[in-house]
């Protein structure tokens, strides 16, 4: 019986980490399950929404024609399409603390000073989200009615709501339909259309993106964080057996594991992820020394910001800044993070981002009411 439990647990832990990289350290964030807190660490619609949705459909990097033919559109919030979200929004985040996608969402909420509750999910059994047909994290519940899936959809839809306060969450979510399809391995996958777009009126778009190219630049680097940067984390934090064990020591300490699961994950899971990290290195065509890919990616990001800007958003962080910071933050306290800080030019930008999120510097004027 014990052997069978070990086998099942190893399979669940290893592949859960592969599907949603629980690689890492999420910094010094607040974790208060069931308590309201600022986490301090670490295409239907009215005229404006319809305009942005049409623009997104023509330039938002959607799936190609062949992919669209074999997909079916699914409402992002079928059960709550007519829900009302009048009044202040109550936000509950279901997460793995050490997941980079969850860290992205926390960085966004922290920066904007939005109070939210955290429910830490057990990564093996996932009982905390058994009510959801969507079985990944992060999940953000709004007013206990509207379920937001996918970190980039969560960020785009909440940011849209911060700006376009007259729009309801269900109305905004209609602009982010889900497309379900099967990948080359036959596994069903879900992708969300327009997820890097803010669904704003033309006037609001000009107000928030006054300079030519600002919006496209933000979207480009948000997608880069999801499609490239995040895939460099696991191979780097599980680069050696010692680093893998150190990563799992933190994961078990900060995550929601039972005593048996924690012991098993720390020692057997670390070995499994060391091997899986090698597969990821091959899958993403990384160099033998995966640190070099991490250094190059981070330096490319800093070069894109340039010497004249504090952030990619200028004097204030934009959504790309928050996404990249959220991904990198999960390595804090690990050897990969220290090496990155010592061998790239990211340090000063990273410290500015820490301060901006910890002090909720984007809070002014963004309260949802």
Tokens of 112: 């904007």
DSSP bridge pairs for 117: 92
Tokens of 358: 């910890």
Q: How many CB atoms lie within 10 A of CB 310?
A: 16
Report the alpha-carbon distance of residue 280 to residue 17 in Å, rounded.
12
Q: Which of 17, 102, 116, 238 is catalytic?
A: 102
Burial 50-68 (b: 16+ CB within 10 A, else e): bbbbebbeeebebeeeeee
pLDDT at 230: 96
Known catalytic residue: 101?
yes
Q: Which of 17, 38, 94, 101 is catalytic?
A: 101
Report the alpha-carbon distance of residue 177 to residue 168 in Å, rounded.
16
Q: Sort strands 117-120 and 188-192 into parallel, antiparallel or unpaired.
A: unpaired
Known catalytic residue: 77?
no
pLDDT at 364: 64
Is residue 116 a contact partner of residue 91, using CB atoms and an 8 Å limit?
Answer: yes
Q: Which of 99, 111, 295, 350 is catalytic?
A: 99
Instruction: Give the 3-state secondary structure of the chain.
Output: CHHHHHHHHHHHHHHHHHHCCCCCECCCCCCCECCCECCCCCCCCCHHHHHHHHHHHHHCCCCCHHHHHCCEEECCCHHHCCCCCCCCCCEEEEECCCCHHHHHHHHHHHHCCCCEEEEECCCCCCHHHCCCCCCCCCEEEECCCEEEECHHHHHHHHHHHHHCCCCCHHHHHCCCCEEEEECCCCCEEEEECCCCCCCCCHHHHHHHCCCCCHHHHHHHHHHHHHHCHHHHHHHHHCCCHHHHHHHHHHHHHHCCCCHHHHHHHHHHHHHHHHHHHHHHHHHCCCCCCHHHHHHHHHHHHHHHHCCCCCECCECCCCHHHHHHHHHHHCECCCHHHHHHHHHCCCHHHHHHHHHHHHCCCCCCCCCCC
Angle at 348 between CA 367 and CA 296, to 5 degrees: 110
pLDDT at 266: 65
pTM recorded for the entire structure: 0.77
Q: Is the peptide bond before 138 cis (omega within 30 degrees of 0)?
A: yes
pLDDT at 179: 92
Report the alpha-carbon distance of residue 219 to residue 215 in Å, rounded.
6
Known catalytic residue: 6?
no
pLDDT at 119: 96
CA nearest neighbour of 132 among 143, 148, 152: 148
Q: Which of 17, 38, 94, 96 is catalytic?
A: 96
Known catalytic residue: 94?
no
pLDDT at 267: 64
Tens of each residue's pLDDT in the chain, 369 residues: 333 344 444 445 454 444 444 434 333 333 333 333 333 333 333 333 333 333 333 333 322 332 332 333 333 333 333 333 445 789 999 999 989 999 999 999 999 999 999 999 987 788 999 999 998 999 999 999 999 999 999 999 999 999 998 999 999 999 999 999 988 888 888 899 999 999 999 999 999 999 999 999 999 999 999 999 999 999 999 998 889 888 888 787 777 777 666 666 666 767 777 787 888 888 888 989 999 999 999 999 999 999 999 999 999 999 999 999 999 999 999 999 999 999 999 999 999 999 999 999 998 654 444
């Amino acid at each position: 019986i014990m052997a069978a439990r070990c086998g099942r647990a190893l399979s669940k832990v290893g592949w859960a980490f592969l599907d949603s990289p629980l690689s890492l350290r999420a910094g010094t964030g607040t974790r208060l399950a069931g308590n309201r807190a600022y986490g301090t660490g670490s295409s239907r619609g009215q005229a404006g929404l319809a305009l942005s949705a049409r623009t997104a459909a023509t330039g938002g990097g959607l799936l190609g024609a062949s992919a669209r033919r074999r997909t079916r559109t699914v409402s992002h919030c079928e059960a709550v399409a007519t829900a009302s979200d009048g009044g202040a929004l109550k936000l509950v985040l279901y997460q793995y603390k050490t997941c980079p996608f969850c860290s992205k969402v926390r960085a966004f909420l922290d920066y904007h000073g939005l109070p939210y509750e955290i429910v830490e999910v057990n990564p093996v059994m996932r009982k905390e989200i058994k009510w959801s047909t969507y079985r990944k994290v992060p999940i953000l519940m709004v007013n206990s009615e509207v379920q937001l899936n996918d970190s980039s959809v969560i960020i785009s839809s909440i940011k849209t709501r911060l700006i376009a306060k007259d729009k309801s969450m269900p109305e905004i979510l209609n602009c982010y339909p889900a497309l379900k399809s099967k990948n080359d391995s036959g596994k069903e996958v879900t992708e969300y259309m327009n997820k890097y777009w803010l669904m704003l009126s033309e006037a609001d778009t000009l107000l928030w993106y006054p300079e030519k190219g600002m919006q496209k630049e933000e979207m480009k680097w948000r997608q880069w964080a999801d499609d490239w940067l995040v895939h460099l984390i696991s191979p780097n934090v599980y680069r050696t057996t010692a680093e893998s064990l150190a990563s799992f020591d933190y994961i078990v300490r900060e995550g929601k594991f039972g005593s048996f699961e924690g012991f098993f994950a720390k020692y057997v899971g670390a070995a499994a992820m060391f091997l899986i990290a090698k597969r990821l290195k091959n899958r993403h065509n990384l160099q033998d020394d995966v640190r070099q890919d991490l250094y190059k990616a981070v330096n490319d990001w800093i070069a894109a910001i340039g010497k004249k800007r504090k952030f990619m958003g200028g004097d204030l962080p934009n959504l790309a800044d928050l996404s990249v910071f959220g991904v990198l933050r999960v390595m804090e306290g690990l050897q990969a993070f220290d090496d990155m800080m010592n061998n790239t030019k990211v340090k000063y930008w990273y410290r500015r981002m820490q301060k901006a999120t910890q002090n909720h510097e984007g809070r002014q004027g963004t309260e949802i009411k």
